[in-house]
Structure 1
Amino acid sequence: MPDIILLTKIVYQQITFQDLARELKVSPQTLEIRLEDFLHYQGHFSTEQAREVIFQYKTRKSDILIQLIQSFKEKLIKEYEAIQVEDINYFKKLTTETDFITNQEITSLIDPDFQQTLKKQFPHFRISAYYDKGLA
């Protein structure tokens, strides 16, 4: 349950505690522990303070939790945007979803060194590139 998911589900979609647990496919106890950890780490709440906020959320009084999350929303968004996925890992992920990948999805596909890396790691894939700056 990444922080950015909690932000989206609780603040923007305003999903109830019960629906959130069901949607994330976790037990209510697991969600409580995650929210407690979330409030402790992001909001520097004590265990008791976090439990009170979570209790309010569980009883369909989500205003307090929404306000708290909004107070550190910018930090959550910056942390999410700072995550960088290596191109090779993104390539692996895309190969499970599609049969054709271009440099529109992974710009480093135009790099001959990256192509060689892919050929070594994925010998069963055909990797081809043709770019002559419009001369042909």
Structure 2
Amino acid sequence: MRDVYSRVTQLARAQVYPFMKNHRISPLSYHFKDYFDACLEEYHIKIMPHHFTNRKIEGLTLVDKAGITFSYEEENPVVKQNFTLCHELGHYILEHSGQVFTEMVDNSDLPIESEANLFSAVVLMPDIVLLSKIYYRRDNFRRVMTDLSVSAEALTYRLLDLFRYYLSPDHPEISPAIVNYKNNQNHKILSLFEWIHDEIENDYKAVKEDVLTIIRNELEDNDFVTSRDFPELLDDSFRKELMADDSIGAWVVFDFGQALGYAWRKDKLTEQQAKSRANTMILLEKR
């Protein structure tokens, strides 16, 4: 089981951590929906609610010629729906074999269902996010649960799995620490994080930003960026690589003994408008 946990959670972190870095989302402001919505767009996934008697079927994934569809029980609490949707995404990202996946109340022990549950838990509550909120900001149990839109049960199991993995499955302090934390006593859980925080942080720090991706993401929200924020825009080869995307223009202007690299969205600014904005920035900086 430890090998499965390690493999699946590493794959989940390999999805979430680069997304956080490349969208400049801090661990304290992370919410699964940013990553989840990006996946829906990238993989053209459709979402639809369903309802079955006794809510026995929590979620469904259908993969066919029409595309990918996730379905969730509409009468479940929102926090359960969140877990279900990330669970269904797990089937797809983990490349489970099959075209139909059914998450039922009584089939969670199946290997692929357990893997999808692990994936969902990490996407909803990444290691670095829990560390940042609990160990560094000292958030209480309810605030973490509310901020991440998860249930008390999901957060409890996630903390159990986290500490059992980094410490040991039979560590005697894990369960009491979580019980105390749920009762607004955090000294024991802080002690556990003291043992593991370096490993979690190093894993997160090892993920490098992709500046090209960051600039493209930034241009989705802002029409214009410069080398003041991204010094790489002063480099000719970097600008050429960026302009491999036909929707993006990039150039550099020289004035007052200064150089300013810049990039813009062609559907929002003309080349002349972008150049004028760059020249204005240099002029204002000289005043």
TM interval, shorter chain, is: 0.7 to 0.9
Compare the two structures and name the one with the higher helix fraction: 1
Q: What is the RMSD computed on CA atoms of the aligned residues?
A: 2.7
Compare the two structures and name the one with the higher strand fraction: 2
1:102 to partner: Cα distance:
1.7
Corresponding position of 2:160: 36
Q: Which of residues 105, 117, 120 is equivalent to 2:244?
A: 120
Corresponding position of 1:78: 202
C-alpha distance in 2 between matches for 1:93 and 1:34: 31
Letter in 2 for 1:130: V
Over 3 Å counting, the alpha-carbon distance change for 1:129 and 1:135 in structure 2 is closer
C-alpha distance in 2 between matches for 1:105 and 1:48: 48
Q: Once the two structures are superposed, what CA deviation does each residue of 1:80-118 show, in whole Å capped at 9, x if it has no partner?
A: 222202122212221233222122333322222221222
SS at match of 1:130: strand
Aligned residues: 135
Say which structure, 1 or 2, has more relative contact order (CA 8 Å, 6+ apart).
1
SS at match of 1:83: coil
SS at match of 1:30: helix
Letter in 2 for 1:84: K
Give unmatched runs, 5+ long, in structure 1.
none
Corresponding position of 1:129: 252
Q: Which of residues 191, 206, 209 is equivalent to 1:67?
A: 191
Structure number with larger C-alpha Rg:
2
C-alpha distance in 2 between matches for 1:70 and 1:98: 40
Question: What fraction of aligned residue pairs are identical, expressed as a percent?
Answer: 25
Asked if the contact 1:9/1:20 (under 8 Å) is kept, the reply is yes
Deviates more, 1:84-93 or 1:94-103: 94-103
Corresponding position of 2:32: none
Report the TM-score, using the length of structure 1 for normalisation. Answer: 0.79
Asked if the contact 1:36/1:47 (under 8 Å) is kept, the reply is no
Matched, 1:51 2:178: no
C-alpha distance in 2 between matches for 1:135 and 1:7: 43
1:25 to partner: Cα distance:
1.3
Matched, 1:7 2:131: yes
Corresponding position of 1:20: 144
Report the TM-score, using the length of structure 2 for normalisation. Answer: 0.41
Asked if the contact 1:21/1:27 (under 8 Å) is kept, the reply is yes
1:17 to partner: Cα distance:
1.0
1:43 to partner: Cα distance:
2.5
1:49 to partner: Cα distance:
5.3
